[in-house]
Amino acid sequence: MSSSHEAVVRVGFGLYEANLQTGELWKAGKKLKLQSQPFKVLTALLERPGEVVTREELQVRLWGKDSVGDFDHSLGTAINKIREALGDTADNPRFVETLARRGYRFIAPVSDLAGKVESLIETPVLGETLSPLPTSVPAKPWDESVSTLGKGWWLAGLLCGLALIAATVLYISWPSRPPLLRIQQLTSTGRIAPGMPTMESLPAAATDGVRIFVPEIEEGRPVLSQVDVHTGDLQRMSLPQELPSPSLGDLSPDGSTLLLRSHLSPESEQPLWLVPTSGGSALRLANVVGHDATWMPDGKSVLFATGNQLIVNRLADGGSTPFATLPGRAFWMRWSPDGKLLRFTLMDPIGHTLGLWEAKSDGKGLRRILDNWSKPGSECCGVWTGDGRYFVFQADRGGSSDLWRMDGKKDTAPVRVTDGPLNFAAPVSPKTGRKIFFLGLETQSVLQIYNAAQRVFVPAPVFLAQATRVEYTRDRGWVLWTDGQGRLWRAHADGSERIQVTPDSLQVFLAHWSPDGHRIALMAREPGKAWQIYLVGAEGGAPDRPLAEKRNAADPSWSADGQQIVFGRVSDVMGKEEGPRALEVLDLRTHHVTTVPGSEGLFSPRWSPDGRYIAALSLDQSKLLLFDTTTDAWRTIADTTAADPVWSADGKAIYFHASLAETQPIYRISVPEGKLEQIANLASFAGGATADYFFCGLTAGDVPIVRSRTGTGNLYSINLEER
């Protein structure tokens, strides 16, 4: 007999899409292999997301009531196959949750990608139908010989019955928890650009109610696409050559013009461009540079953020008027539907925290909202619904980003809108109603090593699977690495004797071995504080701070004798702050600090293994320079975009990533000759599924290690009117 509940033909969850009729499973458009029986189990779970599907139900539905054999083993195998296909685990499930001795539950949001049909799997009746209980039972004549004790039990039973009735009435009358709002997946490419908040790049989107304008990752860099809000179809927009890698600001009130800036520039303030949504020539705002912008409510002026200032630029005459002075850098500026209130995200370049602020339409009444609601502050990227009823924003509570809402006219009592398992971010709203669109981010990446013989990247050793930056000792016997959660690890080169070196409370960005392999210099920070230099022993222990500063300090690199460390400051995109930025040398014996001559405007220093040279980058990452300690002279050895320089083991070459160049090549340049050689690029990844990649370091044999990213996320929608 068929079940009476409805199922869907095509469903989406995270980067995945399943056709329950054909038994097909895709990930970001790529078909996955999943056998018939595991897919039937997955179908049963997907038809009832958020509900427990018992082991007995699965047994009867898939194997039949009278099945014989090892059912537990067959079901366990099917669940394992599902988790393997989805990249899921039992210990930390994102999709399939195990409830011991009960069954399983699909915990991720599931969206309907097609119309509903009757359940696709025939469901036998579980067990025999139970006969109804009799409405009355003939009473026996009262036995006068019943003891007093028996009467006491009878009275106790009566009282228990009355208590049960009272509890039932209370349960029925108790306010029920409102049903979860239904999240609907809109796209399935898995390539929506996620942004990088630590680099002052927030995820962005804008909508006119018919289309959503959003950046996608294509061939290593963002491109601007428009998404049909009904079908989810994506269409790449044609942009002028001046914007090869666009970053989206906002959409004009009439929906005709986009505010854009170039993502390729690492400078903190960039030119702003007006681009028609229908295509055509771009117009640069004259004499304006900023790091974000939005339209004024009348559509006749642009409000842009530059430094710690908000400034209004009039399009008619190009004149500018100060709007407000802020205690930080403003991003994601959005007006209330009535145009009377501006809310924006303020980024602290020292503490690297986020917060929501507001100001009136005249720039006055500046104040922070939801102060101390989360520590460290993570509230970001808010928007009003079209009717102004709600204000929706994103915040990181408990290690993941979710959407929250509060009354559109108040700034208290936020209510959670989403609850994982993806990271949800960047809400945008049409001009009417209470529907919002947003990003569901689920980065898919893998660590790979370049195989020069095959001219392709291949998987790295399993023990390094979670690594983001890797470095070997000079004798090549030990390796250290940071992971995606900011923890530092070290192990033998074969992966044995692995230990976590730093506590979870310290977020490590990068680390370098001392020449003797006994100590490690870190660039790390505590939550809500600036990046600092730390030293720690190879066996772990309490990290030591050799500098007593409140500024950001970055990129520590050892001298050849291990007695000094050269370090720099962070680039603009990691925290634009006041004060000079040059390279400095810290003497670990005296704690005396000196400035490297001629190093103003440089960062990311790397001392050569023999101590003669210091390599560094210009702040705009357009040059790789070399300082000769014997002559105190600088020279440019690579006049190209550069990031993450690494010395070869013999000190005769530097490897670096031209991450802002087309195809993102990794180069090797000889020292001191300056001969440039391309080692690999985006075309070096098999299968064509790689969106972009990051240079993580070198193997013990000076072979590039990278983390390639194949998926980022998709667009979703939710209607706050649903109940």
Taking residues 15-24, what's their average pLDDT?
87
Handedness of CA 412, 417, 423, 426 (dihedral sign): negative
Per-residue model confidence as pLDDT tens digits over 336-351: 999 999 999 999 878 8
Residues of the chain with pLDDT > 90: what percent? 57
Taking residues 218-226, what's their average pLDDT?
84
Q: Say yes or no to pLDDT of 204 above 90.
A: no
- From the number of C-beta atoms within 10 Å of its C-beta (0-12, 13-18, 19+), residue 429 rates as buried
Per-residue model confidence as pLDDT tens digits over 138-157: 333 333 333 333 444 334 44
Q: Which two structure tokens, joined as six digits, stand for 585?
A: 């040398």
Nearest to 310 by CA among 271, 275, 270, 342: 342
Most confident of 277-291, 301-315, 564-578: 301-315
Cβ-contact 508, 523 below 8 angstroms = yes
CATH class of residue range 184-443+714-719: mainly beta
Torsion of CA 70, 74, 80, 83, to 10 degrees: -140
Q: Which CATH architecture has domain 6-118?
A: Orthogonal Bundle (1.10)
pLDDT at 28: 65
> What string of DSSP letters covers 87-146?
T--SSS-SSEEEETTTEEEE-S--EE-S-EEE-SS-----SPPPPPPPS--PPPPP-TT-
Distance CA 85, CA 387 (A): 42
How many helices and strands (H and E) does the chain possess?
A: 4, 56
More confident residue, 263 or 380: 380
Helix (H, G, I), strand (E, B) or coil at 663: coil
More confident residue, 595 or 165: 595
Mean pLDDT of the chain: 85
Q: Tell me the residue type at 548.
A: A
pLDDT at 10: 85
pLDDT at 190: 87
Task: Order the strands of the 633-638 sheet from edge to edge.
Answer: 602-607, 613-618, 624-628, 633-638
pLDDT at 717: 94
Nearest to 347 by CA among 330, 362, 326, 323: 330
Helix (H, G, I), strand (E, B) or coil at 301: strand
The residue written with tokens 């209130």 in the block is: 341
More confident residue, 666 or 76: 666
Residue partners of 590: CB distance under 8 A and separation at least 6: none
More confident residue, 575 or 548: 548
Distance CA 609, CA 588 (A): 18
Helix (H, G, I), strand (E, B) or coil at 573: helix
Please give the CATH superfamily to which domain 453-480+556-702 belongs.
TolB, C-terminal domain (2.120.10.30)
Distance CA 297, CA 316 (A): 15
Cβ-contact 577, 349 below 8 angstroms = yes
Q: Say yes or no to pLDDT of 310 above 80.
A: yes
Distance CA 449, CA 430 (A): 45
pLDDT at 199: 64
- Residue 459: count other Cβ atoms within 10 Å of its Cβ: 11
Per-residue model confidence as pLDDT tens digits over 580-634: 889 999 999 999 999 999 999 999 999 999 999 999 999 889 999 999 999 999 9
Nearest to 602 by CA among 619, 587, 615: 619
Distance CA 311, CA 314 (A): 10
Angle among Cα 608, 486, 519 to the nearest 5 degrees reads: 40
Q: Tell me the residue type at 325.
A: T
pLDDT at 144: 34
Q: Say yes or no to pLDDT of 412 above 50.
A: yes
Cβ-contact 689, 710 below 8 angstroms = yes
Taking residues 69-87, what's their average pLDDT?
83
- From the number of C-beta atoms within 10 Å of its C-beta (0-12, 13-18, 19+), residue 19 rates as middle
Taking residues 196-224, what's their average pLDDT?
83
pLDDT at 118: 32
More confident residue, 694 or 278: 694
Quickly state the pLDDT bin for 166 (edges 50, 70, 90). very low
Residue partners of 200: CB distance under 8 A and separation at least 6: 268, 291, 329, 331, 347, 572, 573, 574, 575, 576
Cα distances from 588 to residues 225, 456, 544, 552, in angstroms, run 52, 42, 12, 19
Residue partners of 179: CB distance under 8 A and separation at least 6: 723
Nearest to 397 by CA among 381, 368, 412, 375: 375
Quickly state the pLDDT bin for 76 (edges 50, 70, 90). confident
- Residue 673: count other Cβ atoms within 10 Å of its Cβ: 10
Per-residue model confidence as pLDDT tens digits over 497-537: 999 999 999 999 999 999 999 999 999 999 888 899 999 99
- From the number of C-beta atoms within 10 Å of its C-beta (0-12, 13-18, 19+), residue 486 rates as middle
Cβ-contact 437, 428 below 8 angstroms = yes
pLDDT at 14: 76
Nearest to 557 by CA among 501, 603, 491, 497: 603
Comparing 66-70, 147-151, 165-169, 448-452, the range with the smallest average pLDDT is 147-151
Enumerate the CATH 1.10.10.10 domain ranges in the chain, comma separated. Answer: 6-118
- From the number of C-beta atoms within 10 Å of its C-beta (0-12, 13-18, 19+), residue 702 rates as middle
Q: Which two structure tokens, joined as six digits, stand for 38?
A: 């595991």
Residues of the chain with pLDDT > 70: what percent? 86
- Residue 322: count other Cβ atoms within 10 Å of its Cβ: 10
Quickly state the pLDDT bin for 171 (edges 50, 70, 90). very low
Per-residue model confidence as pLDDT tens digits over 465-490: 999 999 999 999 999 999 988 999 99
More confident residue, 661 or 297: 297
Quickly state the pLDDT bin for 8 (edges 50, 70, 90). low
Does the N-terminal peptide bond of residue 49 adopt cis geometry, omega within 30 degrees of 0?
A: no
pLDDT at 178: 45
Enumerate the CATH 2.120.10.30 domain ranges in the chain, comma separated. Answer: 184-443+714-719, 453-480+556-702
- Residue 202: count other Cβ atoms within 10 Å of its Cβ: 22
pLDDT at 451: 94
